[in-house]
Structure 1
């Protein structure tokens, strides 16, 4: 395996811990900052909004930077902005630091995907990109449970010390292992932005932002769900999150296999349907600890299996605009993050149980299915989207 791709995977690891560890820390931060858990959930939305704004903005600003320089700048931003959370004296300061931490997320994956494909051996471009994203799945398997454990048993601020250290390591590895690639042809942003004139691009953004948002309605409040509904001890949450992470690793692999074997649009539709059924099961059966553990793994598996087919759909619409499309896709996932966290918090604010956000997730998955059906209907004769 090329060292340069390992460096990119560490970026995925940093981003993955940053994005997902907040779900496990909500009770700790809410207690420390003296806010309710739904209000603490807005910290998840703050990060997601940072991704949505930063993804296209930073890609545009850095479009003509040499790739290595751009990746170093983004890695430095990840490190510094996460470090701000360590010293956050108030909720508003923490909210701002979470927003800033989200800014480099989409741009890193957007630039990193293009760089990984350039570094790959011929015919292995997809595998190279998968190595970069493996850091994201490893974050959920290892990094997030460790970060949650630290937050529960010590101080939640120490978790962000961990993230800052991983971010510094990412910067160092990119500096040492990433070759100096030429910046290529000057990017014509007008041509890149024409990508957003395509109807199918906006439909895929809608599928991702709304349909995939069902995941975040679940995982944003997984800690209070496990503690208050499943009746696990607070200290058990970090261990249980390993199941979710393992499921995401399995789902990421399975989704790639499905995306290669079957048509991406129908596959996305089927997986969103399965996700909606799964979230119904979470709502009804989380009070049973054994079922809760099983469903934690299953939901992680199903949710991450959707990623590869959606990515395949986006890639097939983005000829000539791969970097901005890749960044836009990351922004779309994090619109789903923001929507899932925000909408999932509404029934909690109204006094319903900690299982209720999953019904919001069901609704989001169903809307995603309807948008996918629209995409299939519009492009039923388009072999580019309907076949592998």
Structure 2
């Protein structure tokens, strides 16, 4: 099935943003070494980025609620480029943290607004798949961007990685200027209309499902380099190749997740959550062998990221009057989950054997599953379905 070229342009922006978010995980040992901090402290650069997305996204949506969405996307890509250029010249850990937070301000609003635009360009029965296509850029960044960026960072220094990301951001900016059409405003959004969604308890339940359900992904993935080196005994120069395998799994998971969401949203999420929890237990034993981790990391990406389209689509169904804020808040929930996961992972790495990450991480998804059951029960009681 063909999708409008504008969605592909949004996917390019998603690729660049995904690369800057995820590439740092493969470079944590290098960055920690250069700034003379522990790997756990370097991991807080991920937490800082995630918190910037979570807090900055909704604020930017409220401040720019009357902006044309194309102009807003261009402004967000400008912020993204500026943040990555600053990161490449970071002389200290504090400066690096600041540049990451600046970069993060573009993330939540870009995905929140972009996913709504993608869904609006296709028929209702294909909306989850259209969102999944945009998020495919995020997935592809794991296959191509992250391993390439990790390889560049390990061989030419991590600042070069962020320079390349800045160039990709500029390409995305030009693509949006040329191909994304100027949106026709049929109805002016207002802050008041958007804020009304905050009274909807189904929104808060959905955000809780996203926050806890997805946080287990980052609890483990944030320290994947450490796991591969210390537990799986993989040589450092091979990590970028294993991340390619992970990225392939992420991409397939995104496609499968989109199809499942179009089929039956709540059933899809229940299946994915339960499968993911069970897989973490299996992963505890798989990670002890470097050869098995080639397959293990593939399925980790596939199952973990198959929940993304369903979680994002679920948020857009909560309110027709406030889709921008609901969608952006869901991105905030994703990234608060990322921050929570990175924090929990850091505690485990600091105080427990690294291998135990795969047993602690799924506890977060268990909490997400509980909130999912509560959410479904509320929807049934109110006669609503998603």
TM-score normalized by the length of structure 2: 0.95
Residue from 115, 128, 131 that aligns with 1:129: 131
Give matches, 1:212-361, under 5 Å.
212-262=214-264, 264-350=265-351, 352-361=352-361
- Segments of structure 1 that go 5 or more residues without pairing to the other structure are none
Could you list the per-position Cα deviations for residues 268-309 of structure 1 after superposition, in whole angstroms to 9, with x for gaps in the alignment? 122112111212222233111222121100110001111122
Aligned 8 A contact 1:344 1:356 in 2: no
Aligned 8 A contact 1:211 1:369 in 2: yes
Query: Once the 2 structures are TM-superposed, how far is the Cα of residue 234 of structure 1 from its aligned partner?
Result: 0.3
Equivalent residue for 2:192? 190
Could you list the per-position Cα deviations for residues 17-44 of structure 1 after superposition, in whole angstroms to 9, with x for gaps in the alignment? 0111111111111111111111110000
**2-structure distance, mates of 1:294, 1:27:** 24
Instruction: Summarize the Cα distance change of 1:3–1:377 in structure 2 as closer, same or farther, 3 Å threshold.
Output: closer
Instruction: Summarize the Cα distance change of 1:276–1:34 in structure 2 as closer, same or farther, 3 Å threshold.
Output: same
Residue from 107, 110, 123 that aligns with 2:109: 107
Aligned 8 A contact 2:152 2:160 in 1: yes
TM-score normalized by the length of structure 1: 0.94
Instruction: Summarize the Cα distance change of 1:265–1:4 in structure 2 as closer, same or farther, 3 Å threshold.
Output: closer
**2-structure distance, mates of 1:71, 1:284:** 44
2:355 partner SS = coil
Instruction: Summarize the Cα distance change of 1:203–1:140 in structure 2 as closer, same or farther, 3 Å threshold.
Output: same
Could you list the per-position Cα deviations for residues 191-216 of structure 1 after superposition, in whole angstroms to 9, with x for gaps in the alignment? 21111211111111111111210000
Equivalent residue for 2:369? 369
Aligned 8 A contact 1:348 1:354 in 2: yes
1:317 partner SS = coil
Aligned 8 A contact 1:26 1:41 in 2: yes
Equivalent residue for 1:160? 162
Equivalent residue for 1:55? 57
Query: Once the 2 structures are TM-superposed, how far is the Cα of residue 130 of structure 1 from its aligned partner?
Result: 3.2
Equivalent residue for 1:19? 21
Could you list the per-position Cα deviations for residues 193-244 of structure 1 after superposition, in whole angstroms to 9, with x for gaps in the alignment? 1112111111111111112100001110001110111011100000000111
- Segments of structure 2 that go 5 or more residues without pairing to the other structure are none
Equivalent residue for 1:88? 90
Query: Once the 2 structures are TM-superposed, how far is the Cα of residue 119 of structure 1 from its aligned partner?
Result: 4.2
Could you list the per-position Cα deviations for residues 47-100 of structure 1 after superposition, in whole angstroms to 9, with x for gaps in the alignment? 101100121111111111112211110111111111111010000111111111
2:37 partner SS = coil
**1-structure distance, mates of 2:97, 2:374:** 37
Instruction: Summarize the Cα distance change of 1:313–1:383 in structure 2 as closer, same or farther, 3 Å threshold.
Output: farther
**1-structure distance, mates of 2:379, 2:127:** 27
Aligned 8 A contact 1:266 1:376 in 2: no
How many positions carry a matched residue from both structures?
384
Instruction: Summarize the Cα distance change of 1:225–1:157 in structure 2 as closer, same or farther, 3 Å threshold.
Output: same
